[in-house]
């Protein structure tokens, strides 16, 4: 926990920044844009499924609660080149994007 606190003190709190970057706090390496895109798509799909569940099963009660939620398959977009070596420093500005 101390290492995480020190990292946040050095680089700034990434949870309060408005950024589309996906950052590993321990290594300060930024994820590939393709990985960030995939994570955002998964988040969007999850919200859509949650909203549909609430509407169909709970609000309008058009489906019985015992009906299973259909599994969605997602084809992730993974990088094919070598890892990015860009690291975030204490002077990085997360709000620029």
Instruction: Specify the pLDDT at position 79.
Output: 61
Average pLDDT over residues 54-69: 88
Structure tokens that stand for 13 in this block: 């709190």
Per-residue pLDDT band for 26 (boundaries 50, 70, 90) equals low
Instruction: Specify the pLDDT at position 48.
Output: 92
pTM more than 0.85: no
Examine the pLDDT at 51 and tell me if it is beyond 80: yes
Q: Round to whole Å and give the CA distance between 91 and 20.
A: 17
The CA dihedral of 18, 23, 27, 32, to the nearest 10 degrees, is: -140
């Amino acid at each position: 926990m101390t290492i995480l606190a020190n990292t946040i003190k050095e680089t700034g709190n990434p949870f309060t920044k408005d950024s589309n970057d996906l950052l590993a706090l321990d290594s300060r390496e930024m994820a590939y844009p393709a990985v960030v895109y995939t994570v955002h798509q998964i988040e969007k799909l999850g919200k859509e499924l949650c909203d549909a569940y609430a509407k169909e099963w709970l609000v309008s009660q058009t489906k019985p609660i015992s009906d299973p939620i259909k599994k969605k398959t997602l084809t992730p977009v993974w990088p094919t080149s070598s890892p990015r070596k860009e690291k975030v420093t204490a002077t990085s500005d997360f709000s620029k994007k």
